[in-house]
């Protein structure tokens, strides 16, 4: 991997040999982390799935592992997560893509030097602060339009997660658009295309793999988002089409157990790992899909 692959003979020096082993060990910590995550989630879920059949887990529509009468259907949590994902995608995907087009194709250099760091700040705000923003600003605004809105509602959570993932879509999509060579744009202009046509019919299609990959990553991020949705969307497992009602996502359930007094070894504690495993599998699948899209449909320009 090194740039300077100088083969300096087979000089055996102790320092280098020790350094290699120590540094390799550091790198292997990341591999151990992955194995650790998989191991912890699977071994933690096994006791749960001894009590609860996988069929019940994925088909029952009631989720109440702590409070009697107990039932163990994860569908309400999946539904809650899906509401947040769909809502936040409706905000972030169009806004992020158009932002990327503006930054890559239209903004002059001075404007770009202001806008890009601003969006980076947006990406660096802690999620707990987003959660506070949702309950103290977004929810009251929604209540002004729809007075029946509850203190906790899916819409507020979806909007705030949408804002949170805008920078992810815009920066990755802009990278993809900036990588489109100017030759292609100039060829378009040579044919008499307007700038609008060049942007939407040449740059956008040429950058489509990077843009789609950014969408999938942003959705993966929305699935795993925890604190903002816990504060804004609530703690009530609920299969509903009404975004003004309180819901609970998988992550919010994990927070509920994490902050509650659930004893180790109880089914409530075990359910934490079953939900965590489901969450991990979903985000991993999205991340792999994103990598696949980028690799599969990438146009390589020199």
Partner 1 sequence: MATEEFDGLDANGSLARKRLYGRIFVGVCFLSTLVGVVALALLLADVIYESWGWLSWEFLTYPPSRFAENYLPGGRGAGIYPALVGSIFLIVLTAVFTVFLGVGAAIYLEEYAADNRLTRFIEANIANLAGVPSIVYGLLGLAIFVRAAGLGSSLLAGSLTLTLLILPIVIVAAQEAIRAVPDSQRRAAYGVGATKWEVTRDVVLPSALPGIMTGTILSLSRAIGETAPILMVGAATSMFRPPYSLTGPFSAMPMQIFDWARLPQAEFQHVAAAGSVVLLTVLLLMNATAIAIRNRYDTR
Q: By CB under 8 A, what part of segment 25-64 binds partner 1? A: 25-31, 33-34, 36-37, 40-41, 44
Helix pair 75-101, 154-178: axis angle to 10 deg: 40
Q: Tell the smallest beta-carbon distance from residue 114 to partner 1 (Å).
A: 9
The reply to whether 24 sits near partner 1 by the rule CB under 8 A is yes
205: nearest Cα among 177, 241, 238: 177
Q: Tell the smallest beta-carbon distance from residue 134 to partner 1 (Å).
A: 10
Its sign, for the CA torsion 58, 62, 64, 68, is negative
The reply to whether 246 sits near partner 1 by the rule CB under 8 A is no
Q: Tell the smallest beta-carbon distance from residue 249 to partner 1 (Å).
A: 10
CB atoms within 10 A of CB 47: 16
For the purposes of burial, counting CB atoms within 10 Å of the CB of 15, is it exposed (0-12), middle (13-18) or buried (19 or more)? exposed
The reply to whether 193 sits near partner 1 by the rule CB under 8 A is yes
Q: What is the Cα–Cα distance from 206 to 186, expressed in whole angstroms? A: 14
Site for partner 1 in 65-104 (CB under 8 A): 94-95, 98-99, 101-103
Among 127, 143, 240, 242, indicate the residue that binds partner 1 (CB under 8 A).
Answer: 127
The reply to whether 191 sits near partner 1 by the rule CB under 8 A is yes
The reply to whether 113 sits near partner 1 by the rule CB under 8 A is no
The reply to whether 279 sits near partner 1 by the rule CB under 8 A is yes
The string of DSSP codes covering 231-245 is: HHH-S-----S-TTS
The reply to whether 267 sits near partner 1 by the rule CB under 8 A is no
Q: Tell the smallest beta-carbon distance from residue 22 to partner 1 (Å).
A: 6
Of 48-56, 71-79, 224-232, 237-245, the window that binds partner 1 (rule: CB under 8 A) is 224-232
Of 18-26, 61-69, 71-79, 237-245, the window that binds partner 1 (rule: CB under 8 A) is 18-26
88: nearest Cα among 30, 186, 158: 158
CB 202 within 8 A of CB 184: yes
């Amino acid at each position: 991997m090194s740039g300077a692959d100088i083969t300096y003979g087979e000089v055996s020096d102790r320092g280098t040999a020790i350094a290699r082993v120590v540094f390799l060990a550091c790198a292997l910590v990341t591999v151990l982390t992955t194995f650790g995550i998989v191991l912890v989630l699977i071994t933690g879920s096994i006791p749960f799935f001894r009590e609860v059949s996988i069929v019940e887990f994925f088909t029952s529509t009631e989720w109440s592992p702590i409070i009697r009468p107990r039932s163990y259907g994860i569908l309400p949590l999946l539904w809650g997560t899906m509401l947040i994902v769909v809502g936040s995608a409706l905000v972030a995907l169009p806004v992020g893509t158009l932002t990327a087009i503006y930054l890559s194709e239209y903004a002059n250099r001075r404007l770009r030097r202001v806008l890009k760091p601003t969006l980076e700040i947006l990406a660096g705000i802690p999620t707990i602060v987003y959660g506070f923003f949702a309950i103290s600003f977004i929810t009251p605004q929604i209540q002004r339009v729809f007075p029946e809105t509850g203190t906790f509602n899916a819409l507020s959570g979806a909007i705030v997660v949408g804002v949170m993932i805008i920078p992810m879509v815009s920066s990755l999509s802009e990278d993809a658009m900036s990588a489109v060579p100017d030759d292609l744009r100039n060829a378009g202009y040579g044919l008499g295309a307007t700038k609008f046509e060049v942007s939407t019919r040449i740059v956008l299609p040429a950058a489509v793999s990077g843009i789609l990959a950014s969408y999938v990553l942003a959705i993966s991020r929305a699935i795993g988002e925890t604190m903002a949705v816990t504060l804004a969307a609530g703690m009530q497992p609920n299969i509903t089409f009404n975004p003004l009602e309180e819901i609970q996502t998988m992550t919010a359930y994990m927070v509920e157990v994490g902050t509650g007094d659930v004893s180790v070894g109880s089914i409530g504690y075990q359910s934490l790992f079953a939900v965590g495993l489901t969450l991990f599998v979903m985000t991993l699948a999205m991340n792999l899909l994103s990598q696949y899209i980028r690799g599969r449909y990438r146009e390589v320009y020199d």
